[in-house]
Amino acid sequence: MKAQPADHPLNGLLRTERIPHIWCPGCGIGTAFSACLTALLNSGMDLTKTAMVSGIGCSGRAAGYVKLDSYHTTHGRAIPFATGMKLARPELNVVVFSGDGDLFAIGGNHFIHGARRNVDLTVVCVNNFNYGMTGGQCSATTPREAQVESGFLNRLEAPLDICRVAAAAGAGFAARVSGYDPLLSERMQQAIRHDGFALVDIWGICPGRYGKRNPISPGSINAALDRLPDLTDTLAANARDEYGRAYREEAAKLVAPAPPALIEARFPPPQGGRREILLLGSAGQRIITAGEILCLAAATAGLHATQKNDYPITVMRGHSVSEVVCSDRPIDYTGIDRPNLVVALAQEGVARKAGIFRELGPDTVILKARDVSLPDTSGTILELDFKALGIRSQDRALAALGELADRRLVLTRDMLGAALQLRFSGRLLDAALKQLEAGGNSPAVVG
Amino acid sequence: MMQARWGSHGHYEIIALAPASPQELFHLTITAFNLSETYRLPVLVMADEVVGHLSERVVIPPAAAVKTRERVPASGRRDRYKPFQRGACGVAPMAAAGAGYAVHVSGLTHDERGYPDMSAAGQEKMMTWLTEKIRANRDKIIQTESYRLDDAEIAIVSYGISARSSLAAVDEARAAGIRAGLLRLVTVWPFPEELIRDLAGRVRALVTVELNLGQIHLEVERCARGQAPAILVGHAGGAVIPPEEIVARLSAVSRT
């Protein structure tokens, strides 16, 4: 191959020291690449603020030849890479240049979400209907009747009309164009000008692989393109705000959250040493909130506290367990093997930790709801009849904390009140305080 | 742990940090960014499930009190800049996109200009450099904490939440007359090889406590070079390793 001529009009945009390139003679990538460079030159954009991002494959090598900030990224990931770049540096013009295998097969999911998200990217795809670099296997756009190196596989799958996918996914600009169309560069300029996600799907010939066994020519490409449905109306209906700008506008409206509260030690703790508390309940009983309140209460007495929760991945069914450790020394081991205190508010939570009850001695206090039954245990049982007291299931945990505070087990009324002030505000705080007051008149009985 | 170290093909060095508490998770995340900026390298923050799900007091310092480091930017003549030419500490100054340097970045093995160079000589040069950049700075990167190690007969090596069980186990073992100590790995990769080797030369046994069936344990065994037996206290996860289990093993080791 000849060396790059010194007076080539695109030399300013080429890493001429890397020429000759690797592409086969007659490959559609060359035409598409030079049309893309011409479009960039004619766009009037500041080219020092323009970046090209490629994936993997023959077309993916384009980034290695263009004299811009250029990134040859992992297979299928050019669009997420470009998305990050455009969001971090909105002043950049970002062009993705890659092939059908990279963008639509390996990176198909990123492509769909790129179109849906509408970040201002120009995606230039050289669509040559196969994975050329790896030997001519079928890609997402291989026609069913084509002969490719992966045997019959392409005959079983429908090829993607990627512009239709882009339109369905929300792109505002998607153009199918033959790599031999004299207006190719103009179409690319339109895509570059489009404020949002824009796709140029360039149908080209892979002479080294696909073209060897499949009769394909500029004429057959034009005929195939003509048979595809027009997308003008769908694309027009997708017009909307560019993602990055909309994101920055929305983010600017957000008020910075207040810094986290600095909790002062204000109260003497009711006991010294390490206390392990197990809260056992079911979904919706606010067990985890109760664990948080317990930790906050501990902090108001200058104690260290850890909380580890256990619930099924969903939140509206099953057990809800919170393990809390409070200590006047820094907490090393965060597990609970022999709790000092067990609060049993629902059968689901008890079932989850059924194994521990046998191990408990009389020094462990178990505060249980009357309608919950426990496995055999030597723990000291206190019982609360929530139903008789008219306490709703979702209020049991807070009522139980009130009971513990009255008995000065782990926390006091002062600590609990201060913790509620830290955890809640407004109406929720009033409701919690009121509920606590009501519960305070109905002590638990030894079960 | 090993996926962090060897999660990709080919050879490279990586930095991975193992926080043992939510507070440390906060600080090590800042450290990770700083290391990443300093060495131009991805840094992994390896919070285990318990540290990741634990609620505990975290003090967030004012932003002005947080020390941050930034990468060395590209400077000088644009036509002479090579994006992968070694600078101070073996790290190449980095040009940001849009700074006018027209850099090329590729996942392929590359030369100083960033251009693909798959030759054996090219790979040797690039990979040796990338490896050396971390190896030569190990002392600056590696952080560990020692607890009652000075006169220890048995050294525990642990990291993450298991290091907190180990801390409790050291005190319990000491109370029972067993001279145990703890080396907590804050930095897991690069691995503190010299430290483990020295430790192995002066203790009766090395006990690795970790939430798996023996990964860092094998590294400890390798670095001990037969000077002291390496013993594993590990389980497959789902709960924190109780200190009693560690003490029982320390006790068994001390009797041998």
B64 CB within 8 Å of a chain A CB: no
The sheet that has B154-158: what strands, in order across it?
B144-147, B180-185, B154-158, B205-210, B230-234
Is B242's CB within 8 Å of A295's CB?
A: no
Q: Would you state the pLDDT for residue A62?
A: 96
Judged by DSSP in three states, B108 sits in coil
- Residue range A274-446, CATH number: 3.40.920.10
The confidence score (pLDDT) of residue A439 equals 63
Top-confidence residue, A446 or A252 = A252
* pLDDT, position A160: 96
Q: What is the mean pLDDT of residues A191-218?
A: 96
| B57:A73 CB<8 A | no
Could you tell me the pLDDT band of residue A1, with boundaries at 50, 70 and 90? low
State which amino acid sits at residue A167: A
Q: What is the pLDDT of residue B87?
A: 87
**Span A53-80, average pLDDT:** 97
Quote the pLDDT of residue B90. 87
Work out the average pLDDT over A154-172. 97
Cα gap A267→A303, rounded to integer Å: 10
The sign one gets for the Cα dihedral A281, A285, A289, A293 is negative
Please report residues of A whose CB lies closer than 8 A to that of B53: 308-309
Residue A447 has pLDDT above 60, yes or no: no
Closest chain A C-alpha to B58 CA, distance in angstroms: 9
Nearest to A107 by CA among A136, A86, A83: A83
Mean pLDDT across A289-305: 98
Residue A259 and residue B53: Cβ atoms within 8 Å? no
pLDDT number for residue A10: 93
Specify burial of residue B8 (Cβ count, 10 A radius: 0-12, 13-18, 19+).
Answer: exposed
Instruction: Considering only the beta carbons, identify the residue of A67, A72, A299 that sits closest to B107.
Output: A72
Nearest residue of A to residue B97, measured between CA atoms: A69
Chain B interface, best mutation among A333, A353, A356, A422, by max B CB count within 10 A: A333
Question: Taking CA atoms, what residue in B is nearest to A74?
Answer: B107
Question: Is 90 exceeded by the pLDDT of residue A260?
Answer: no
Q: Is the pLDDT of residue A443 over 70?
A: no
Residue A247 has pLDDT above 70, yes or no: yes
Over residues A211-216, the mean pLDDT reads 94
Closest listed residue to residue B187, CA positions, set B37, B14, B68? B14
Q: Do A91 and B98 touch (CB under 8 A)?
A: yes
d(Cα A164, Cα A45) in Å, to the nearest integer?
29
Q: Give the integer Cα–Cα distance in Å for A41 and B196.
A: 59
Q: What mean pLDDT do residues A331-349 have?
A: 96
Residue spans of the domains in chain A: they are 9-251, 274-446
The answer to whether the A9-251 and A274-446 domains have the same CATH topology is no
Q: A331 contacts in B (CB within 8 Å)?
A: 56, 164
Chain centroid offset of residue B95 CA: 28
Q: Which of B8, B23, B55, B209 to mutate to test the interface with A (most CBs of A within 10 A)?
A: B55
Residue A90: closest C-alpha in chain B: B98
What is the average pLDDT across A327-343? 96
Best mutation target, B23, B57, B58, B113, to test chain A (most A CBs within 10 A)? B57
Q: Does B248 touch chain A (CB under 8 A)?
A: no
Predicted confidence at residue A434, as pLDDT, reads: 87
Cβ pairs A/B, distance under 8 A:
95
Residues of B in contact with A71 (CB under 8 A): 104-106
Q: Does domain A9-251 have CATH number 3.40.50.970?
A: yes
Query: Of A91, A307, A332, which has the smallest distance from its Cβ to B167's Cβ?
Result: A332
Report pLDDT for A65.
97
> Is pLDDT above 60 for A435?
yes
Name which of A350, A346, A298 is nearest A324 in CA terms. A298
The whole-number pLDDT of residue B25 equals 98
Q: What is the mean pLDDT of each run of 10 residues along chain B (256 residues)?
A: 91 96 98 97 96 95 94 92 89 94 95 95 94 95 98 98 98 98 98 98 98 97 98 94 97 93
